Amino acid sequence: MYAAYFTNPSNGYAVGWYGTILHTSNGGTDWTNQSMATSTLRSVHFPVADTGYIVGERNTMLKTTNGGVTWNMLESGIVSPYLNFNSVFFSDVQHGIAVGDSCYIFKTTDGGANWTHTKKYVGAEVINLYSVYFPSASVGYASGSSSIILRTTDGGANWARRDAGIPRFNALTSLCFSNDNTGYAVASQKGTIIKTTNGGTTWTLQNAGTDYALSSVCFSDSNTAYVVGQFGTVLTSHDSGIQGQDEHSAVHGLVKVCPNPVRDKFTLETSLMTGKTQLSVFNVNGKEILTQWIIGNKTQVDMGNLPSGVYFLRLKNERAVEVGKVIKE
């Protein structure tokens, strides 16, 4: 799978190879196939719960207005059938941007009925764009190969390059902003994470704590960011990275949870963690709502007093970090 997007803790979509579109209504426990495309799909975004957009290879653009029950093909207006769209973002149901190979940037103001090719960045390199994100209706960012970062302040009509401050061989695979000025970008080389607090004018290299390739970054709230990457790597910062480098930890495995979903108590089992280990339970907003120390490979956790929903688990000691997910009925 290439991308996933959740409209709420229970309702989510995942897209990937050969036109695969999966939908879950119970936080990922079960998935149903909604596929109607043939090309590989690269990105999915829902500006509202029932209206969503998907883009992918060979000019593929899809739209739903009924929560994915049906998907309709959109026409980008591109003559060549070989252009790949890699990322899509809508600031509302009408206004959206899709980016792709050869630095193509397409904009719609009527919910995807018509697309215009906006002014693209022109440079010496052949640039592919992999990610686009708009923290507000007018301000947006795009990133891609050759460490490129583009910024717009007019809703995507015009774009200007920002210096990422890292070697040009890096491919910036994803970026995300908590507001118009503060955001992260991650790269596919040696655990690269960069951060800006001034709208991309300058970027600061972060201490990721891993050399693995990183593929995606997102904010769950204004202070909490998550990064995922190669070999199950999960990184987190709970203070927008200002003092959060020590929060970044590479994940070496997944914990087993039984039963899952759970009504009150569940047994947590791990094969990697030894010695004194801290268990933390987070809600979908990244807030730590339960913590306890455990010793050994098995422990029982009581969630009887927590409301129903999806929760994320983290086991952490001096040697390793493991993560998991549990659904509270």
Q: Has this prediction a pTM greater than 0.85?
A: no
- pLDDT for 272 equals 61
pLDDT at 134 over 90: yes
* Cα(187)–Cα(203) distance, integer angstroms: 13
pLDDT at 82 over 50: yes
Whether the predicted pLDDT of 122 surpasses 60: no
Which residues contact residue 225 at a Cβ distance below 8 angstroms, ignoring those fewer than 6 apart? 176, 178, 184, 217, 218, 219, 236, 237, 240, 241
pLDDT for the residue numbered 248:
39
Nearest to 217 by CA among 171, 262, 184: 184
Count the alpha carbons within 13 Å of 263 in the hemisphere toward its beta carbon. Answer: 0
Q: Are residues 94 and 74 in the same domain?
A: yes
Structural domain ending residue among the three candidates 214, 247, 280: 247
Residue 280 has pLDDT above 60, yes or no: yes
Tell me: do 273 and 198 sit in the same domain: no
What is the C-alpha separation between 239 and 23, in angstroms, rounded? Answer: 32
Q: How far is CA 178 from the centre of its chain?
A: 13
Other C-beta atoms within 10 Å of 66: how many? 10
pLDDT at 243 (0 to 100): 35
CATH number at residue 321: 2.60.40.3080
Same domain, 122 and 243: yes
Residue 49 burial class via C-beta count within 10 angstroms: exposed 0-12, middle 13-18, buried 19 and up: exposed
Q: Which pLDDT score, from 0 to 100, does residue 320 have?
A: 66
Q: pLDDT confidence of 198, banded at 50, 70, 90? A: very high
Residue 49 CB contacts under 8 Å (≥ 6 apart), including other chains = 7, 8, 11, 67
pLDDT at 246: 36
Q: Does residue 143 carry a pLDDT above 50?
A: yes
Q: Which residue has the tokens 């108590």?
A: 265
56 three-state secondary structure: strand
CATH number of the domain to which 191 belongs: 2.130.10.10
Instruction: State residue 289's pLDDT score.
Output: 85
Same domain for 205 and 317, yes or no, is: no
User: Which candidate, 239, 231, 259, 237, places its Cα nearest to that of 320?
Assistant: 231
Q: Tell me the residue range of the domain where 273 lies.
A: 253-328
Mean pLDDT of the residues in the chain: 84
pLDDT for 43 beyond 90: yes
Q: In this structure, are 48 and 91 located in the same domain? A: yes
Residue 10: the pLDDT is 86
Same domain, yes or no: 229 and 89:
yes
Closest CA to 153 of 172, 173, 134: 134
Q: pLDDT value at position 299?
A: 86
| Range name among 78-92, 170-184, 272-286, 304-318 with the lowest pLDDT average | 272-286
DSSP designation for 257: E
Residue at a domain's end among 247, 265, 294: 247
| pLDDT classification of 85: cutoffs 50, 70, 90 | very high
Both 179 and 317 in one domain: the answer is no
Please name the residue that has the structure tokens 């739903």. Answer: 64
| Residue at which a domain ends, from 212, 232, 247 | 247
Work out the pLDDT band at 119, boundaries 50, 70, 90: low
Q: What is the pLDDT of residue 274?
A: 65
* 296 and 321 co-located in one domain: yes
Residue 279 pLDDT greater than 60, yes or no: yes
319 pLDDT more than 70: no
* pLDDT value of position 242: 36
| The pLDDT value given to residue 21 | 92
Beta strands in 77-159 (DSSP E): 85-90, 96-100, 105-108, 116-117, 129-133, 140-144, 149-152
Question: 193 and 55 in one domain?
Answer: yes
Q: Average pLDDT in the 275-286 region?
A: 76
Q: What is the three-class DSSP state of 40?
A: coil
Residue 183 neighbours by CB under 8 Å, 6+ apart: 133, 135, 141, 175, 176, 177, 195, 196, 200
Claim to verify: residue 277 and residue 163 sit in the same structural domain: no
Render pLDDT for 201-258 as a digit per residue (tens, 0 to 9): 999 998 777 777 888 898 877 777 888 777 667 777 765 553 333 333 444 456 788 8
Is residue 123 scored above 90 in pLDDT? no
pLDDT of residue 249: 44
182 φ, ψ (degrees, to nearest 5): -110, 125
Q: Tokens 């997007």 identify what position? A: 5
Do 214 and 299 reside in the same domain of the chain? no
Reply yes or no on whether the pLDDT at 191 is more than 70: yes
Give the integer Cα–Cα distance in Å for 11 and 242.
32
Counting every residue, how long is the chain? 329
* C-alpha pair distances (Å), 155 with each of 115, 149, 248: 14, 16, 33
Cα 104 from Cα 83, distance rounded (Å): 9
Domains of the chain: total? 2
The percentage of the chain sitting over the pLDDT mark of 70, rounded to a whole number, equals 87
Q: Look at 120 and 269; give whichever has higher pLDDT.
A: 269
Same domain, 296 and 224: no
